[in-house]
Homo-oligomer: A and B are copies of this chain.
Amino acid sequence: MKIDFAKGGGLVPAIIQNADTQQVLMLGYMNAEALARTIETGEAHYWSRSRKILWHKGATSGLVQKIVDLRIDDDQDAVWLKVEVAGSGASCHVGYMSCFYRSIPTGGKPSPELELKFREQSKTFDPDEVYGDAPNPTQL
């Protein structure tokens, strides 16, 4: 196994999919240490680009992602994780199950005025209650 971290400036993108619902939950980034800890512990670890720290997903929220299958792509510069999510099953720090809770309408010209469609109607938790004043795990 030889992962190509160089192409992405020391990081590989990680696709996170819920193993039960098959929903794609988020896209994270891993440096060599985050991937090593993920392999060793069987729980997803990421590199936070905004906070510049190693990030054990669920350490604050309890929404730990347990690895069911860890895949690597043909040119070994991206990974795909099938996970079981602890607790409510949410993965997005703003409170939705998936970070991808909105759709871009297709078939027309893209423009700044193009309105996104919400695909999740309600949040599964209140981010203020879970994270308090802690900085958001991702940059909005």
Contact = CB atoms under 8 A, between A and B. Distances in A.
Interface of A: 1-2, 7, 13, 15, 17, 22, 24, 26-27, 35-36, 38-40, 42, 49, 67, 69-75, 78-80, 92-94, 96, 98-116, 119, 138-140
Contacts of A114: 1, 39
Contacts of A24: 15, 17, 24, 71, 80
B72 A104 contact: yes
| Chain A facing B: main interface SS | loop
Nearest to A24: B80
Copies of this chain present in the complex amount to 2
6 contacts: A1-B113, A39-B114, A40-B107, A40-B110, A75-B138, A79-B100
A39 B104 CA distance: 8
B80 A100 contact: yes
A66 B124 CA distance: 31
Contacts of A35: 110
Given A22-B22, A49-B7, A78-B27, A1 B104 contact: yes
